[in-house]
Amino acid sequence: MSEVMSKIIQRGIPKVKICGIQSLQEALWAIEAGADALGFIFVPSSKRYISPQKAQKIIKQLPPFVSKVGVFVNETPEQISTILQQCFLDSIQLHGQENPSHYAHLPVCKIKMLPYPGATIMPSPSTHSFLSHSFPTRISLGDSSQPNPFHAIILDSTSPKGTGGTGIPLPWQNPDFQTFYKSLKSLGYPVILAGGLTPANVQEAIRLTRPYGVDVSSGVEEMGRKDRRKIQEFIAQVRSSESPLSHLTEAENEQRKAEVQ
């Protein structure tokens, strides 16, 4: 991970992804409110599933400079390749038991879901990896001798019903979680925070974790559908969560002040 990338990860107000988009109206509400990315769930068992055909029709009508993310669970690389081309996706988000290295050839940004609880960071001299109850093997987080198989981590909560989309907040204040999260961020990858985020708690989550981005679905819904007011409130809370300079060190802040005087 380059020094420039590390600075990008550490600074600035978090990016916002509104996930589970199912209509053009929902997509436009999110864009109007200032969302950086939209998530389309291509998982037939999900209640927020959208067909590739419907997603394509929506995406074709979107303005430029909005990232389109496809969410998949244990889908084959071949099928994902077909959908990402059909739907003009910018990124894919892998939420199953996939080994990211099997998807490294796909020409888009790749985001891997990491469950909590259920994962353990395993550092070694040449690579970082994690072991997870949700994955059958150790997954590399960046072997110095190999191209990185993915570009970011999304941290989501687990429950007996499954992983991801649970609506259960991560235990941000828990000491064990804080230790785990510190180890995760030390790997140098952008960390996207998910798991039970709402307009009421996202500022606290950002304050305690300082993620690269936040990902929300059920937290901006009413009766299982996206709610315009909640989307606006959520993004407003993120944008006002902290000063863009709050991620800088004291010395860097002093230097910035001197530059503008």
Residues linked to residue 132 through DSSP beta bridges, in sequence order: 119
User: Is there a catalytic annotation at residue 156?
Assistant: yes
Residues linked to residue 111 through DSSP beta bridges, in sequence order: 93, 152
Which of the following is catalytic: 19, 36, 87, 215?
19
Handedness of CA 226, 229, 234, 238 (dihedral sign): positive
Which of the following is catalytic: 90, 156, 176, 227?
156
Question: CA 65 to CA 61: how far, in whole Å?
Answer: 13
Exposed, middle or buried by CB within 10 Å (0-12, 13-18, 19+), for 3? exposed
Q: For residue 147, give every residue at least 6 positions away whose Cβ sits within 8 Å of its Cβ, in sequence order, or none.
A: 104
User: Is there a catalytic annotation at residue 215?
Assistant: no
One DSSP character per residue, 161-220 reads TEESS--PPP-TT-HHHHHHHHHHHTT---EEE-SS--TTTHHHHHHHH--SEEEESGGG
Cβ–Cβ contacts within 10 Å for residue 190, how many? 22
Cα–chain center distance at 14: 10
Q: For residue 100, give every residue at least 6 positions away whose Cβ sits within 8 Å of its Cβ, in sequence order, or none.
A: 94, 110, 112, 139, 140, 149, 150
Positions annotated as catalytic residues are 19, 156
